[in-house]
Every structure is written in structure tokens, then in C-alpha cells.
Structure 1
Amino acid sequence: MTLTASQAILGKQKRERILQGAMQLFFRDGYAGTSMDRVASEAGVSKQTIYSYFHDKESLFKALIEQITIARFHTLFESEQLQGEPDQLLRQVAETYLLRVAEDQEYLSLLKVIIAESSRFPEMAKLYYQTVIQRGRQLLSQYFDAHPELGIQDSEATAHIFFGSLVSFVVVQEIMHGKEIMPLSSERLVDSLIDLIHSSS
């Protein structure tokens, strides 16, 4: 059976309503404290309707991770490889990540849930790692390999240091209240990371 345009739009709107309802519950009550029954109530749909879009709670949470993360980093991760002059490209990657994350309450709330529940639900942390960190590290590693003039001996480790520093900056400054205790500007971090790359050459 082929869906009409209006049916497709309604289906997309209903899926979005489910995701929005689930997001409120996951962020407020955590992964363990959220049930499909409560998501159905929050979204104003039947549980059967939720299962027509998502197989289980894990697939619902995965869709939420993808929606929140991929949309924000689409311009970075849409291509098969990163391109541009090293200084400009590295600054763009760093600033895009930091600007789209540090002041994004949805993203920070998602990150808090993943960190809080990672020991009980390691698959959630793995999903986040694969969606954001692994993809960023792979693209950056490939970029370093394509630019031997940078003199980087271990492209994977260097990409991990670069991208991992961005993630840890957000966690420490925004989630662990580092900006209140020992603030560090994102500009200083980015400048130092680029200097580290240059010191390899």
C-alpha cells in the first residue's frame, strides 16, 4: 500500500511527536525511569502506535541520539572526507562542535543521560560514541593521512586527542560546572589544539 503525501506528512509528524515526548521523559527521568507506556501517554498516542515506528525502547533512544546529534553535525559529517587547509579546517571542526554543543540544552541533557546511565546501559554510550566521536575521529584521521606535510606519525591517536579534547571540554565545562570553578575559553582550547598539530610537523 502506497502512502499519499498527506499520510506521509502525518506519519512524520506523529513520529516527531513520539520523539519529543520520549525526549522529555528521558531527560527528566533517565533511561531506566522511562517506559513505553509513559512515552505513549506523554506523546498522546497509543503504545501500539509507538511500536509501529520503533521496535523497543533502545531503538527509540537510538533514534533520539541520531536526531539530536546528526542534525547538529550534518555539515561536518555529510561528506566522505574533510577538505581544506589544515588551520582553517581544524578550526572549523572545533568551532562547529563547540558552538553547536556548549549552549545547546537538548544536546547537553542527552549527554547527561548517557553519562549517568552508561554503567547500567553500556549500549547507549556505545551508540553515542559511534554516532559522534567515532565518526569525527575517522574523518579527522583520514584527513591527517591525506596531509603528510603535517608530519603526524599516528593519525588515529592524534585525531582521538583532538576530538576527545573537544568532547571532554564540553563535559568538564558545561556538565561538571568547570566554567564556574576553573573557566577556560573555547578559543584558548582551539588555539592550543591547532598548535599541538603544528608541533608535529
Structure 2
Amino acid sequence: MALPSDPAPAKRTRRSPDALRTQILDAASELFLREGYANTSIDAVIERVGGSKRAIYSHFGGKEDLFAAMVAGLSEQALEAIPEANERAEEDVRASLVDFARAIMRILMDPRTIALYRLVVSESGRMPGLAESFLRYGPGRATSGLTRLLERWANSGLLDVHDPKQAAEHFIGMLRDDSHLEVVLGVRKPLGERAQRSRVERVVHIFLDGVAVK
């Protein structure tokens, strides 16, 4: 019999499947981004969240699938701040583009996004489907959102845009430019808030000058 002064045995809390899945993804994200794919093991993830390998295999299928799910999840989280076309189409074009561009810049310069870019590039040769998933859930989703916005403005006669998708790609490309590559390569620090605002204002000015209704 335990003495009154002995600590009570810890009760094991049963986690729901959704809660366990989230905890696995959070732990895997931290390990993958910090240690890289090769240096992260399923055992290391289990050590952080508890449970068994069966739980990870039942939710994700294996290490590659867990990695792909982590990439998709981080991309989705990063892009949640981007305004949807149906929310912004009736607002001032310039102000809406500035808001959109600021959201994109924050994503591009976020340390987690930068780490994710590096990780995808390093593993894409071995896992081609990973790069496709990243492009679809990350940059591709941002381009699609801006494309819908430009289409609505063009249909309303607010902008002269003949190819909204291409225009969206050009707009985001101007935001990214060489500075993003330099940050990803580690030769410069991410742009601060002031530099991001300045970049956004210049890009929006140049873009609107090219698509203004004549």
C-alpha cells in the first residue's frame, strides 16, 4: 500500500485521433525543420509525443508521408493570412493589393517558411512528389488566390488584365525577387518590417502602372 506521502500515479490521458495527429505533426515539423529529413527518425517523433509507431503509421503511413503532410500543413498555415478574393473584390484595388502583398512578404520572410524552402529543395531530388505538393499547397495557392482577385477586377473594368494567372505570377515574382533567394541561401538576413513595406509599395506601384485601364 502506498504511503500518504507518496506521489499519486500519473493518469494517462487518452487523446482523440485528431489531437494525436496534430501533436505528431507539430513534433515532426520541429524536428524536420531543425534536424533535416535524414536526421529525423520516427522514434524521435514518438519520443516527443508518446505512443507507438503504429499511431504514426495509421495516421500517415510512414516517414515520407509524414514529411509530405508536414510540408502541406505548414504551407496551409502560412497562407491562412492571405485574403480571399470574395472578401476583397469590392474594396480599393491598391489597398487590397498592398494587404495581399504584405501577407505574402511576411510568409516569404518567416523563418519557418525559409527553413521549409531549404528542406524541400534539399529533398526534392529524392522525393519529386514533395516539390509538387509544396508548390500546390504553397506558392500555387497564393497565385490562385491573386488570380481570382485580378479576374474579378478585370471583369469589373477596374484593371486591364488579359491573363490574370500570368499577371499574378509576375506580381508575386516581383515580391520574391533575388532577395528571397539570398535569404534562402543564407547570404542575407530576412527583410525587416520597414524593408518589407517599402518593397510592397514599390511592387504595387509598378504593377498597377502596367495594368491600369488606359
TM-score (norm 2): 0.74
Is 2:104 the partner of 1:94? no
Distance 1:36 1:20, change over 3 A: same
Identical residues among aligned pairs (%): 23
Q: Distance in 2 between matches of 1:67 and 1:125?
A: 14
Picking from 178, 182, 204, the partner of 1:194 is 204
SS at match of 1:120: coil
Report the alpha carbon displacement of residue 158 of structure 1 after superposing the two structures with TM: 1.2
SS at match of 2:82: helix
Q: Distance in 2 between matches of 1:114 and 1:74?
A: 20
Structure showing greater radius of gyration is 2
Report the alpha carbon displacement of residue 168 of structure 1 after superposing the two structures with TM: 4.6
Aligned to 1:161: 170
For this pair of structures, how many residues does the alignment match?
Answer: 193
Aligned to 1:3: none
Structure 1: tracts of 5 or more residues without a match: 1-5
Structure 2: tracts of 5 or more residues without a match: 1-12
Aligned to 2:147: 141
C-alpha RMSD over aligned residues: 2.9
Report the alpha carbon displacement of residue 142 of structure 1 after superposing the two structures with TM: 2.0
Picking from 113, 132, 136, the partner of 1:130 is 136
TM-score (norm 1): 0.78
Report the alpha carbon displacement of residue 34 of structure 1 after superposing the two structures with TM: 3.2
Is 2:125 the partner of 1:119? yes
Aligned to 1:25: 31
